[in-house]
Amino acid sequence: MTLILSNDDVAKLLTVEECMAALEPAYVELANGKGVNRTRSDSIVAVRGKPDSVYGLKTMDGIVPSLGVGAVRINSDIISWPKIGNSQRRTKTPAANGRWVGLVLLFSSETGEPLAIMPDGVMQRIRVAAANGIGIKYMARADADDVAIIGSGWQAGTQLMAACAVRKVKRIRCWSPSAENRAKFAAEMTPLLGIEVETMPDAEAALKGAGIVLCSTSSIDPVYFESWLEPGVHLSSIKKAEIDNAALARCDRIALHVHEDKPLHFVEDGADAADAEVEKGWADKSGIDFAKLPTVGDLIGGKAKGREKPEEITAFLNNIGMGYQFAVAGAVVYRKAKEAGVGHELPTDWFTEDVHP
Amino acid sequence: MTLILSNDDVAKLLTVEECMAALEPAYVELANGKGVNRTRSDSIVAVRGKPDSVYGLKTMDGIVPSLGVGAVRINSDIISWPKIGNSQRRTKTPAANGRWVGLVLLFSSETGEPLAIMPDGVMQRIRVAAANGIGIKYMARADADDVAIIGSGWQAGTQLMAACAVRKVKRIRCWSPSAENRAKFAAEMTPLLGIEVETMPDAEAALKGAGIVLCSTSSIDPVYFESWLEPGVHLSSIKKAEIDNAALARCDRIALHVHEDKPLHFVEDGADAADAEVEKGWADKSGIDFAKLPTVGDLIGGKAKGREKPEEITAFLNNIGMGYQFAVAGAVVYRKAKEAGVGHELPTDWFTEDVHP
């Protein structure tokens, strides 16, 4: 039987800690040439009648032989780039009857069999946070206990969970442009974490004295700037563009999620909004040779040191997501779903065939 | 509701003729920069315990704005390369409980909504044949009525249907290495086409005098050679490697399916069998500048002529498949399935989400 799982199922079955535990050895395997990750591709066309939007069909694949799975993650998005506050955002419109469309398909790499289909939303924020959490584990000061977060959206919650999983966090401060959003976020996260999430009126107040700074926004403009740097801080970003180039250039150590970070773009002529994002989102004027930076696999595997001295300024850039992460997280979810008897079972024959494809 | 369709459904809903009719304008749109095709990617790892096999997770995407759809085609295959007769074949083992695994997921490019999920097998042979049929339509002699086919497998049947759809075919001869296979093929196809499929004991006997030669094999070595060329013949191939380089070099006109024909390979260290295929399958020693050849879209749109004189030797190379074709064919199948009330309906909410992915 092929399992159809919901986001609620995934939320019950997968914690940030479990995802980190599964990803750590898998990242080392990938760094050692075992398994594969297929670089994300974005296919983009104009949306008829909506000049400010594009349709994006984004896919990424990965195979983890040690877990016996491959995964394809698909996003089918109506995308626009509104200006909110000082930052240009990349937003997805829930145009499918008020809902978004993202799927993970999990296959057996031993038989090819389709094991499960599930939405990507819950898994995706957990795996993003797990990667940044591993970055904190290997790069932040061992005694870092004061966390600042820029952002109060969907990704921000799991980012805090990841930080709390790897450090004894005593204080959390949050800033985001909307007072309403950050208050809502603090109210939601404080009981979940058992640590008060303080809301701050400006970024500087939130950041002052923090040993760990989490950038967790949908901004494609920088949200963290050089003047805010303090000795010993660890900067954690869910995309490269969040940290200003001048701040990046002053970091003593930077590690990346993965080297190959340019998504493959296939863009319809005239779908210009997308080009704007491509140009801005990936512009790099830091002077840093990113190809020489260590990756998360290098940190875990011991090929690179995350930090040697307390006063070093470190940064982890979750520069692009990997289909490989969905295979790892999917394997955990699938195993636990089978054990717990969770999900809709559909005949596997619906998703296989008796003719040679 | 999201439709789950079977290969039987697709076989009832889509003919080679309908697929050609939908593809012709869509190919022109793509050649004119409307819509996009995302180059196929093959992610390949070793299969534990099966040294002669690899696991391949192959994906290709495409969006056809004029039809309001995007598609992702996924193959999850256990692949090996046995030597059969004189040719090395690329074969897929039906390891998923005796079945193969290929899927097409169809999405709305207006809302992102998942419209349908179906196996790829029937659609894939129809769209391959439709492309080669369009090649015949624009490149074969108008009076070509004698068809030879090399191959008697799954693809061969629709290749004959496509030839019969665009030319008044009077004679069909078939050769393939196995007498048993070609007899079975002839017995199956003769009533379907209403034309006797003659089986021949060797390739030369099958080819002599044919105005249209269809290569339709799983061979990754050449199966058609220079010495067999006759003036005025049209050669049709479902992959570049089937026609020997020397024969190709003597063609007066060659057209390709599409220019960008190197699949993106992501190969695990040591998954060597795959490398062998990559090296052999795409080796080109013909001296032809393939980048300058016209594509099927150029032929249909009138940017290139398929044939000017009866004695010209022409060739159409279906050099790589496109996710775009699955979007076109998928749109036809989906529309007809909705009209006919065919397929299993599942709640669309199972494949969408209320969180920002």
Q: Distance (Å) from the C-alpha of residue A45 to the closest C-alpha of chain B?
A: 6
Instruction: Out of A41, A70, A266, name the one closest to residue B57 (CB).
Output: A70
Look up the ipTM and state it.
0.94
Inter-chain touch B99–A350, beta carbons under 8 Å: no
Contact B59, B72 (CB under 8 A): yes
Predicted pLDDT of residue B51: 84
The pLDDT-based confidence of A201 (bands split at 50, 70, 90) is very high
Tell me if B103 and A351 make a contact (CB, 8 A cut-off). yes
The contacts of residue B262 (CB under 8 Å, 6+ apart) are B39, B282
Q: Which CATH topology does A134-261+277-317 take?
A: Rossmann fold (3.40.50)
According to DSSP, the residues that pair with B47 across neighbouring strands are B50
With b for 16 or more beta-carbon neighbours within 10 A and e for fewer, the A288-303 pattern comes to: eeeeebbbbbbbbbee
A123-179: per-residue pLDDT in tens? 999 999 999 999 999 999 999 999 999 999 999 999 999 999 999 999 999 999 999
Q: Cβ separation of B119 and A351 shorter than 8 Å?
A: yes
Question: What tens-digit pLDDT sequence spans chain B (357 residues)?
Answer: 999 999 999 999 999 999 999 999 999 999 999 999 999 999 999 998 888 899 999 999 999 999 999 999 999 999 988 877 777 777 899 999 999 999 999 999 999 999 999 999 999 999 999 999 999 999 999 999 999 999 999 999 999 999 999 999 999 999 999 999 999 999 999 999 999 999 999 999 999 999 999 999 988 789 999 999 999 999 999 988 899 999 999 999 999 999 987 889 899 998 876 555 655 555 677 789 999 999 999 999 999 999 999 999 999 999 999 999 999 999 999 999 999 999 999 999 999 999 988
The bridge status of strand B36-47 relative to strand A50-64 is unpaired
pLDDT computed for residue B231 by the predictor: 98
Tell me whether domains B2-123+322-351 and B139-259+284-317 share a fold. no
Token pair 């003719």: residue = A355
Q: Distance between alpha carbon B57 and the CA centroid of its chain, in Å?
A: 18
Q: Does domain B139-259+284-317 have CATH number 4.10.780.10?
A: no
User: CA of A348 to nearest chain B CA: how many angstroms apart?
Assistant: 9
Q: Tell me, what's the pLDDT at A283?
A: 63
Residues 77-96 of A with CB under 8 A from B: 77-78, 92, 94-96
Please choose, from the candidates A208, A163, A210, A206, the residue with its C-alpha nearest in 3D space to the C-alpha of residue A182: A206
What pLDDT score was predicted for residue B106? 98
- Cβ-Cβ contacts under 8 Å for B197 (sequence gap 6 or more): B160, B172, B173, B174, B185, B186, B189, B190
What residue in A sits closest to B260 (Cα-Cα)?
A: A266
Q: Which amino acid is at A182?
A: R
For chain A, the domains span: 2-123+322-351, 134-261+277-317
* Better-predicted residue by pLDDT, A90 or A248: A248
Dist CA A29 CA A22 (whole Å) = 11
Cβ contact, residue pair A154, B356, below 8 Å: yes
CB-CB contact of B230 with B163 (8 Å):
no
Q: Which residues of B touch A270 (CB under 8 A)?
A: 33
pLDDT for residue B305: 97
> B278-293: string of b/e by CB count within 10 Å (b at 16+)?
eeebbeeebeeeeeeb
Q: What is the pLDDT of residues A265-302, one digit of tens each?
A: 899 998 876 555 655 555 677 789 999 999 999 999 99
Contacts of A341 (CB under 8 A, 6+ apart): none
**Angle in degrees, CA B297, B37, A115, rounded to 5:** 135
- At residue A218 the predicted structure's pLDDT band, cuts being 50, 70 and 90, is confident
Please tell me if residue A62 touches chain B, with a CB cutoff of 8 Å: yes
Average pLDDT over residues A253-272: 89
Q: State whether A112 and B76 contact (CB < 8 Å).
A: yes
d(CA B122, CA A106): 23
Nearest to A146 by CA among A212, A228, A236: A212
**β-strand pairing of A91-93 with A102-108:** unpaired
Greatest Cα-to-Cα distance within chain A, rounded to the nearest angstrom:
63
The answer for B 291-310 residues in CB contact with A (under 8 A) is none
Question: How far does the CA of residue A208 sit from the closest CA of chain B (Å)?
Answer: 30
- d(CA A187, CA B96) in angstroms, rounded, equals 48
Determine whether the interchain pair A264/B47 forms a contact, defined as Cβ–Cβ distance below 8 Å.
Answer: no
Model pTM score: 0.95
A349–B63 CB contact, under 8 Å? no
Would the CB atoms of A65 and B268 count as touching at under 8 Å?
Answer: yes
**pLDDT for position A282:** 52
Q: Which residues of B touch A75 (CB under 8 A)?
A: 357
From chain B, pick out residues whose CB is under 8 angstroms from the CB of A74.
72, 105
Contacts of A100 in chain B (CB under 8 A): 112, 352-357
Contact with chain B for residue A45, Cβ under 8 A = yes
Q: Residues A333, A336, A338, A344: is their CA dihedral positive or negative?
A: negative
Instruction: Provide the pLDDT for residue A130.
Output: 98
Q: Which two tokens stand for residue A289?
A: 């040779």
B270 CB near a chain A CB, below 8 Å?
A: yes
- Which class is domain A2-123+322-351? alpha beta
Residues 6+ apart with CB under 8 A from B229: B247, B250, B313
Q: Using the beta-carbon criterion (under 8 Å), do A70 and B76 form an inter-chain contact?
A: yes
pLDDT score recorded for residue A51: 84
Least CB–CB distance from B121: residue in A37, A120, A355: A355
